[in-house]
């Protein structure tokens, strides 16, 4: 059984900042739609306030998270300890997609190092924080971040990235609108 909290306190925030990977889960409203879980890493997660987080969303082959958030806003972000004492933390909330051209994009981007693969930022108003044991999570050694997205995006350049997103990121696998194009 997990312990529910209303905020991300300082102790928990410190623990979260040390985790090299987190998982994002969303789902469409349709009972026949596909639930999505995506692993994330790198220097891409920030706690803005005790009930407000944001992560840098890199361009990928799909756009499920953006499509689900635009449809219904539901999201959960999970961290788990792969070393040290076992712990799982879930941040439930309401998410929004912040794209290039949105009025808050530059302000949010200022919290992160520039990255050529940035497609958007996912902003979450956290409504529930839960902590559970994590006894079943294996111990793993972190070897380092992958640099493939950054190299790929740099090679493609801004125009190539915009073309790729126009081709691959407009809709979810269930046909929901994800990204309508660069603003």
Residue with tokens 């801004």, as numbered in its chain: 158
Other CB atoms within a 10 A radius of the CB of residue 169 amount to 21
Token reading at 183: 């603003």
In order of their start, the domains of the chain are 3-135+146-168 (2.30.110.10)
pTM of the model: 0.96
Distance CA 180, CA 75 (A): 21
Residue with tokens 């493609």, as numbered in its chain: 156
Q: What is the pLDDT along the chain (183 residues), one digit of tens a residue?
A: 679 999 999 999 999 999 999 999 999 999 999 999 999 999 999 999 999 999 999 999 999 999 999 999 999 999 999 999 999 999 999 999 999 999 999 999 999 999 999 999 999 999 999 999 999 999 999 999 999 999 999 999 999 999 999 999 999 999 999 998 765
Contact 16, 55 (CB under 8 A): no
pLDDT of res. 1: 62
């Amino acid at each position: 059984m997990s312990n529910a909290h209303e905020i991300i306190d300082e102790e928990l925030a410190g623990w979260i900042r040390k985790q090299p990977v987190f998982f994002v889960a969303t789902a469409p409203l349709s009972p026949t739609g596909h639930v999505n879980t995506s692993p994330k890493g790198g220097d891409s997660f920030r706690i803005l306030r005790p009930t407000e987080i944001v992560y840098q969303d890199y361009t990928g082959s799909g756009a499920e998270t953006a499509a689900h958030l635009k449809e219904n806003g539901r999201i959960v972000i999970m961290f788990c300890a792969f070393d040290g004492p076992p712990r799982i933390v879930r941040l439930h909330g309401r998410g929004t997609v912040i794209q290039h051209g949105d009025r808050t994009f530059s302000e949010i981007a200022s919290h992160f190092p520039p990255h050529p693969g940035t497609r958007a930022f996912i902003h979450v108003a956290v409504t529930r924080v839960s902590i559970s044991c994590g006894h079943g999570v294996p111990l793993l050694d972190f070897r380092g971040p992958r640099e493939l997205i950054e190299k790929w995006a740099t090679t493609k350049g801004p125009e190539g990235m915009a073309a790729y997103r126009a081709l691959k990121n407009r809709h979810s696998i269930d046909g929901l609108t994800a990204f309508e194009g660069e603003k």
